[in-house]
Chains A and B, each alone.
Chain A
């Protein structure tokens, strides 16, 4: 099975900062990688699919990149609404889907 490791587990940042979250896979796979945002008490929200495609309605300050075993989610300029927990997920056809352990983005 493909294991996904996110870093950092917690990230402290300020409004206006540029932040990057990394997700590393235990083995290479095609870019079937998604990023989700989850706020307390709410369901996850899809931000990015296929590693770098922005979901409809998601602000353009969110972007995804990467391939092989290393993927990143970047927020170009943090808004107050962006403080949440972020998860990566691989959805390759040859392995059970797996999520990263999550990155909590906190206000500094």
Chain B
């Protein structure tokens, strides 16, 4: 079964850091670009970041650029999101998601995890 399982969310103070993890199973992880998408409580979806499968190219939303870093460890079938200088407006459910096609970077997202909640509050 193709599956993505996120972890690492929690309560953090403004200015703090958190690292999210997403473990993949059921597909050849190293062949697919991976993304993070977030959803603030009661709000819509916001794309956060994408990492390619091939050369590790990374892409970020302007709202997180310079504060968040996406990375991947293909040996562990895991994608990470390092979040620094967190703000109240980063409070959201963070989903990881898989690109639909092998080796494509810019692609629809066909498999999603269930999300991990990040709350930034003092």
* Residues on A facing B (Cβ under 8 Å): 1, 32, 34, 36, 38, 42-46, 49-50, 55, 87, 89, 91-93, 96-102
* Residues on B facing A (Cβ under 8 Å): 35, 37, 44-47, 50, 59-62, 95, 100, 105-110, 112-115
Cβ contact within 8 Å between B108 and A44: no
Compute how far the CA of A96 lies from the CA of B35 in the bound complex, rounded to whole angstroms.
12
Instruction: Give min CB distance, A15 to chain B, whole Å.
Output: 26
Q: Which residue of A lies closest to B45 (CB)?
A: A99
Cβ contact within 8 Å between A101 and B105: no
Cβ contact within 8 Å between B106 and A89: no
Q: Which residue of B lies closest to A87 (CB)?
A: B45
Given A43-B95, A46-B100, A49-B100, A99-B108 contact (CB < 8 Å): no
Q: Which residue of B lies closest to A102 (CB)?
A: B44
Given A46-B109, A55-B110, A97-B44 contact (CB < 8 Å): no
Q: Which residue of A lies closest to B105 (CB)?
A: A93
Known: A46-B100, A97-B50. 5 other contacts (CB 8 A): A43-B112, A44-B37, A49-B107, A49-B108, A91-B108
Compute how far the CA of A101 lies from the CA of B42 in the bound complex, rounded to whole angstroms.
11
Instruction: Give min CB distance, B110 to chain A, whole Å.
Output: 5
Chain A residues within 8 Å of B44, by CB: 87, 99-102
Q: Would you list 14 pairs from A and B whose C-beta atoms are within 8 A, ordered by A residue?
A: A42-B114, A43-B112, A43-B113, A43-B115, A44-B95, A44-B109, A46-B100, A49-B100, A50-B108, A89-B109, A91-B108, A96-B47, A96-B62, A97-B35
